[in-house]
Structure 1
Amino acid sequence: MPVRSWTTGTQCVAKGDHRKPKPGELLYHKGDILTIVAMTTVKSTCYKAKHNSTGDEGIINSADVREREALRLDPSLSLMPWFHGKISGPEAVRKLQPAQDGLFLVRESIRHPGDYVLCVSVSGEVIHYRVMYQDNQLTIDNNQHFNNLIDMIEFYSQNKGALARTLLKPKPKQGAKSAEMELTKAGWLLDITVLKLGHIIGEGEFGAVFDGEYLAQRVAVKTIKCDVTAQAFLQEATVMTKLQHKNLVRLLGVILHKGLLIVTELMTKGNLANFLRTRGRSLVGSVQLLRFALDVCEGMAYLESKKLVHRDLAARNVLLSDDDVAKVSDFGLTRAASRVSDDQRAKLPVRWSAPEALTKEVKYSTKSDVWSYGILLWEIFSYGRQPYPKMSLKEVMERVEGGFRMEAPEDCLPAIYALMTICWAKEPRRRPTFHKMREKLEQEMKKRCPGYDSLIPSPRPQK
């Protein structure tokens, strides 16, 4: 059996109990999540690991754990498997047979459009509770109010409240899979009792982003309270379970509590666009700009190797760590190369999008990400300026289609502008790969940063 080689930060799931550890070993139970802290000198199959719930550290044998699985992108994966959409009362009664106390489902109200109905089996009968939508909140009794259906079901699964009994068992819609069950099985569902929320560090249309702490690790917590948006963000979290690279923001896991919470490593210096705008040329030199460009290229080369397309690459979606490492984030639009639906096209950022991504005929690919990377390089070397300054979105689309390309930012290195222009080749096949661009950026870095050679790992590890 080959010896496993796990990097620091790799998360594992215990295959069985280890209740009687020897001195220095870690105590854990089947299903516990453990994070690799370091290799050990004990033997090649042993690692030092940290228990994700207790915070304890100790030695584990790699044969006794498995690496945390990536989740498969599955349209049937649902945060609300108990939601059946627009069905009638009698149909709901049929679905809740055979009668079982506490069996429940939620449906859209046909009689009161915009409201919902919670249907619960109690003593052989089905009781229908109207869920009213008032002042952006949901309520059954005008006493207890909820931000969303997930929040409401969570509450009534633990408290009887206005109901005849607590909710015990969801009746899943045919074909729907419980996201909670799949996340638990794969080891990505985190324990909310261990999470400490701090201050708001960002606000988006989906909800707030908080800093916080999870088992002594500083984290960022993205909160999504709207049911529909939470379901969409579940896809982002699913994509992130597949990604392990030093230049991609790392997912720690998700929590289902009053909606969806996505927990990632905390990037203390915020996004790259704001960082550059607020510091400028006097504080950030050309070598640092090159490092940012190379960091992003490394992360994108990894996505390229996984045949994943980001679709929203821009300086606002690159975050900086304490030690100025740039990491690509926001994987909400990331997926394998595919055609762009009208729906998705409406969300694409025009100033960063390749011409073919804005038409109906051509599919979005890694080569479209390369175009966006050229725009991101322009952002970096212009210190965070908005691309195509003073042009409307309509002008951008028309003029780029007609062959217009931005001029080099002030004092931009000639080799970098040459890289930008080749990224903006009209024909996607003429654009370079991220692998090739990484080589060019490393050559440029060697010229300007003596001793850079010694910082490049060899061979370059890929997971």
Structure 2
Amino acid sequence: MTMPMDQNHQQHQEAWSRGTQVVANYNFEGSSPDDLPFKKGDVLTIVQPTKDPNWYKGKNESGKEGMVPATYVQKRKEVHLQAMPWYHGKISREEAEALLNDFREEGDFLVRDSVHFQGDYTLSIYFEGMVDHYRIIAKHNKLEVDGGDCLFDNLIQLVEHYQNDADGLCTKLIRALPKKGDSFGAVRIQDFEAGGWVIQKKDLQEIELIGRGEFGDVYKGLYKNQFVAVKQLKDQDRAAQAFLKEASVMTSLRHPNLVQLIGVVLGDTIRLVTEFMGKGNLVEYLRSRGRSVIQKKDQIDFATDTCAAMEYLESKKLVHRDLAARNILINENNTAKVSDFGLAKYGDYSTEGGKFPIKWTAPEALKNNNFSNKSDMWSYGILLWELYSFGRVPYPRIPLADVVMHVEKGYRMEAPEGCPKQIYSLMLRAWNLNPAERPTFKEALQELQNLRSTTV
């Protein structure tokens, strides 16, 4: 089995291991029964290398296996956020002027959220003893400086342009005034294309509306003869970057208990295409079936599946921030998977503003915006309570405004009826006011696996 090769063509940077995902750059018809035919854009999984470095054994999304020529495919690449140290988020005009007047250097600049136009930005520049402000308008998934002629995909592209050329501004952008603390990032659309994540709209069929999310509607769809979930961005102008950030996080994640990103459809309407979870979210699953259908074995399976996913995120120092039963999805095989990475971010960090689900969020995160894997563990304790109470809303009979006060005074929810002692013990440890005293997901997973082995 041989294939013509350009001697100067380097097929790939490294040998691909079992489980590596690759995307086809060309159509391949195959020349023998051992080959695996595929079309450009198909996603394949490497089953094993062969003695010939130009060929791999792979399988397609239907599970069919065969030989794959290495030069016809590329490894899928993670899409990373690009740093934006000059982005200061929600600060006022007065605060921006005070910061720039502290340094008084010609061409110093920062970018902030627009105070008067939600979804737009403001570029503030120090020049000739004054601070000039320019509105950056978000329109049709593009950005432009008010009065300018150029359109940009994101803030990074815009800033780079005006660093090279004033192009109608009072001066070129010379020195970024960095924000202390948070590091913000932006996503470049071309990185999804280069990474092999782009799906063509013509290959995707939307069948029916199945839900509504923070950013837009979710449809059941069909892609390459498999059912998928299609999350469609509702407000292009204001949410495109947040939507793409969720997708960028998902490109770096691969675990059997995380909902997998299949690809992104770009264009006038951005769509995130993920695996389809036929039994919906865990809250509705619990409430619609109840104790007569759901057994203790199901509950410990769901608890362990979720914890396994969170242990994986913990190992990658990724904080979910919105862990709750509503964000756990169940597939036809009764496997639970963590979804909704719209708020996820790497590392311990603080964030300004934003609304968080109070009953699920750790006290230190609510009070100080300090999110970590340990604040995720607090949320996991609440999720366990939801699971063993068959989908009840946490803190029943306590007004929402009083929950934090009760918790800080030592109140903890009682064990749900029939909840195993080991599970309730884990909940209580997850709800320790001192984050350092809470278990890690790795520790919790070991306990749950032991309990699962004895649950019938």
- Return the TM-score normalized by structure 2: 0.71
Mind listing any 5+ residue stretches in structure 1 that lack a counterpart?
77-112, 117-132, 139-147, 154-166, 450-463
TM-superposed CA distance for 1:200, in Å, is 0.2
- 2:243 corresponds to which of 202, 216, 233: 233
User: What residue number does 2:436 align with?
Assistant: 429
TM-superposed CA distance for 1:281, in Å, is 0.4
User: What residue number does 1:93 align with?
Assistant: none
1:52-451 map, 5 Å: 58-61=66-69, 65-74=73-82, 149-150=140-141, 173-175=158-160, 179-227=188-236, 228-343=238-353, 346-360=354-368, 363-449=370-456
Contact 1:308/1:335, CA 8 A, preserved across alignment? yes
TM-superposed CA distance for 1:256, in Å, is 1.4
CA distance in structure 2 between the partners assigned to 1:75 and 1:340 by the alignment:
16
TM-superposed CA distance for 1:173, in Å, is 2.1
Contact 1:11/1:33, CA 8 A, preserved across alignment? no
The one-letter amino acid of 1:252's match is I
Moved more, 327-336 or 199-208: 199-208
Contact 1:71/1:239, CA 8 A, preserved across alignment? yes
TM-superposed CA distance for 1:425, in Å, is 1.0
Contact 1:26/1:57, CA 8 A, preserved across alignment? yes
CA distance in structure 2 between the partners assigned to 1:430 and 1:240 by the alignment:
30
CA distance in structure 2 between the partners assigned to 1:202 and 1:35 by the alignment:
29
Distance 1:28 1:217, change over 3 A: closer
Moved more, 168-177 or 425-434: 168-177
User: What residue number does 1:164 align with?
Assistant: none
CA distance in structure 2 between the partners assigned to 1:440 and 1:261 by the alignment:
39
CA distance in structure 2 between the partners assigned to 1:447 and 1:170 by the alignment:
58
SS in 2 for 1:338: coil
Distance 1:170 1:299, change over 3 A: closer
Contact 1:221/1:261, CA 8 A, preserved across alignment? yes
CA distance in structure 1 between the partners assigned to 2:151 and 2:357 by the alignment:
42
Distance 1:15 1:350, change over 3 A: same
CA distance in structure 2 between the partners assigned to 1:4 and 1:349 by the alignment:
41
CA distance in structure 2 between the partners assigned to 1:243 and 1:406 by the alignment:
33
- Return the TM-score normalized by structure 1: 0.70
TM-superposed CA distance for 1:115, in Å, is 13
Deviations 1:351-378 (A, max 9, x none): 0111110122x63110111111000000
TM-superposed CA distance for 1:15, in Å, is 7.2
TM-superposed CA distance for 1:285, in Å, is 0.9
CA distance in structure 1 between the partners assigned to 2:152 and 2:118 by the alignment:
22
CA distance in structure 2 between the partners assigned to 1:178 and 1:325 by the alignment:
31
SS in 2 for 1:448: coil
Mind listing any 5+ residue stretches in structure 2 that lack a counterpart?
1-12, 85-116, 121-136, 162-185
CA distance in structure 1 between the partners assigned to 2:18 and 2:338 by the alignment:
22
CA distance in structure 1 between the partners assigned to 2:315 and 2:451 by the alignment:
23
SS in 2 for 1:173: helix
TM-superposed CA distance for 1:168, in Å, is 12
CA distance in structure 2 between the partners assigned to 1:115 and 1:275 by the alignment:
36
User: What residue number does 1:162 align with?
Assistant: none
Contact 1:207/1:222, CA 8 A, preserved across alignment? yes
User: What residue number does 2:167 align with?
Assistant: none
Superposition RMSD in Å: 3.7
The one-letter amino acid of 2:140's match is L
The one-letter amino acid of 2:386's match is E
SS in 2 for 1:342: coil
Report the identity percentage: 40
Distance 1:440 1:43, change over 3 A: farther
SS in 1 for 2:418: coil
TM-superposed CA distance for 1:18, in Å, is 6.1
CA distance in structure 1 between the partners assigned to 2:61 and 2:304 by the alignment:
34
SS in 2 for 1:356: helix
SS in 2 for 1:412: coil
The one-letter amino acid of 1:68's match is R
CA distance in structure 1 between the partners assigned to 2:38 and 2:285 by the alignment:
42
Contact 2:350/2:370, CA 8 A, preserved across alignment? yes
1:44-59 map, 5 Å: 46-50=56-60, 58-59=66-67
